[in-house]
Structure 1
Amino acid sequence: MIKYSSQTRVLVAVDCIIFGFDGQDYKLLLVQRGFAPEKEKWSLMGGFLQPTESLDQAATRILKQLTGLENVYLDQMHTFSHPNRDPVERVVGVVYMALIDIEKYEKQINDDFHARWFLMKELPQLIFDHEEMVQMALNRLRYKASLHPILFELLPEKFTLPQLQALYEGLFDTKIDKRNFTRKLLSSNILKKINEKDKSTSKKGAYFYTLNETIYKDNGQNMLNLIPKNEMPAILE
């Protein structure tokens, strides 16, 4: 078998960042690392690329092996390649990211590696450069959500405008002007109003809406920006 001579072999690791939304809060799924160094410290779901698999296959395998999650769409985000990012030897890290509805997937999660959801504001210390990975992923997610209605995928079949606003405010950690938010949403025609109210939080109640699937699929990418312009610099940092 022909090999490239005089070349140093480098390990390739795949790390999976899984953001979740439980209807109220955004969370991050973490596991306890199963081997040294940093054994039993909190970590992203990670493992090494095997000779017979692609990066996508490795990400899918690692996520299922460490958490039990499967059929999750993972988006390849970035490659981390600082020579000293792993204290043992040279490891290039390829990061994948997903945003899921926690309730939809919670029955799949196993406890083999103590997989646990953490509130974004209460994350433990992570190993190596995993905190940098999470921050980059969060910025990337905010940027995408500021341009396209990807967060709608986390909503139940019927929802209220306050629930939708809370979804955006939670991701961007900011307060959004209710009047402007509602005006932009309704002008897009991406929602269909239902003659039914949610009265669980107030006597007056709030009307339920559903997603207009046709407009969402055909014109969703051209939706008006739902995030105030003064939030954009922070997103792009």
Structure 2
Amino acid sequence: METLLPKLDSVFSTDCVIFGFQANELKILLIDRNEEPYKGWRALPGYIVGQDESIDDAAERILYELTGLRGLHMEQFHTFGDVDRHPQGRVITVAYYALIRIDGQQELKPVTNFARAAYWHPVKDLGKLPFDHQKIFETGFRKIRRRLSYQPIAFELLPEKFTLTQLQTLYEAILNRKLDKRNFRKKMLSYGFLKELDEKQKGVSYRAAKLYRFDRRKYNKIFQNDLSVEG
């Protein structure tokens, strides 16, 4: 005998955890909410998935509508389904994350009234977030920390040309601890995928440092191993 299930009304949303690096600070993309609940609060970009769209399509649409950014490569990393995570009822959210270079990105400009503004905010000064957005952020942050140990994801956040100091500052921001300068540089250079350029920093008041570039082709060819900076 076939068992007929009752008609179910499920509400899904997506929340986006987008990391960037600017002015030697790790940053997260936030919006100012313009609707209840939590009107006026800063929050992760997120909203309800339409009944006629896939969750992947919804994530792209929602990020664009709330921030003006489009065309980003985002990955699902977790589903959050606590019964009381939303004050208006059961809402299951699928979270996405991305790491991007802030410089050269499109202007942050919401195209919907749901968000008053979109902006980059320092991770170290995040403050209180609505719903379970703090939990979503922390889960995404742990995800990139784990990936950093075996993939060169830090280079997705840096400008195309960078100094070793910028690279170390980014690693320290993600790992949330200081690293020994000599050991860090020795290990990074030993991997063989950093290409030293015949260029130095410009427009700085201190001694200009050498610039480097990440050679992704060389990384793919010669190195698919552990990228831990420990030891």
The TM-score range, normalised by the shorter chain, is 0.7 to 0.9
* Deviation digits for residues 105-154 of structure 1 (CA, Å, limit 9, x no counterpart): 1x431055211221112223211101010011111111111221111122
Normalized against structure 1, the TM-score is what? 0.86
Which residue is equivalent to 1:125? 128
CA contact (8 A) 2:148 2:227 kept: no
From the superposition, tell whether residues 169 and 201 of structure 1 become closer, same or farther in structure 2 (CA, over 3 Å).
Answer: farther
Which residue is equivalent to 1:76? 76
Gaps of 5+ in 2: none
Report whether the alignment pairs 1:88 with 2:91. Answer: no
Which residue is equivalent to 1:136? 139
Q: Distance in 2 between matches of 1:138 and 1:201?
A: 34
Which amino acid is 1:84 matched to?
D
Which residue is equivalent to 1:67? 67
Please show how residues 140-151 of structure 1 align to structure 2 within 5 Å. Answer: 140-151=143-154
Which amino acid is 2:75 matched to?
D
**C-alpha displacement at 1:213, in angstroms?**
3.3
CA contact (8 A) 1:149 1:220 kept: no
* Further displaced range: 66-75 or 38-47: 38-47
Which amino acid is 2:172 matched to?
E
Which residue is equivalent to 2:100? 100
CA contact (8 A) 2:79 2:95 kept: yes
Which amino acid is 1:93 matched to?
T
Please show how residues 15-30 of structure 1 align to structure 2 within 5 Å. Answer: 15-30=15-30
Report whether the alignment pairs 1:209 with 2:212. Answer: yes
Report whether the alignment pairs 1:193 with 2:192. Answer: no
Gaps of 5+ in 1: 230-237
CA contact (8 A) 1:184 1:224 kept: no
Q: CA RMSD in A?
A: 2.1
**C-alpha displacement at 1:177, in angstroms?**
1.1
Q: Distance in 2 between matches of 1:66 and 1:111?
A: 4
- How many residues align? The count is 224
* Deviation digits for residues 155-186 of structure 1 (CA, Å, limit 9, x no counterpart): 22322212211121122121111222122122
Q: Distance in 1 between matches of 2:9 and 2:93?
A: 14
* Deviation digits for residues 190-224 of structure 1 (CA, Å, limit 9, x no counterpart): 11222333373643x43222222321233453253
Q: Distance in 1 between matches of 2:122 and 2:227?
A: 29
Please show how residues 152-171 of structure 1 align to structure 2 within 5 Å. Answer: 152-171=155-174
Q: Distance in 1 between matches of 2:195 and 2:89?
A: 55
Q: Distance in 1 between matches of 2:168 and 2:228?
A: 13
Which residue is equivalent to 1:175? 178
Q: Distance in 1 between matches of 2:179 and 2:142?
A: 18
> Which structure has the highest helix share of the two?
1
* Further displaced range: 61-70 or 174-183: 174-183
Residue identity (%): 39
Q: Distance in 1 between matches of 2:93 and 2:160?
A: 37
Q: Distance in 2 between matches of 1:195 and 1:127?
A: 48
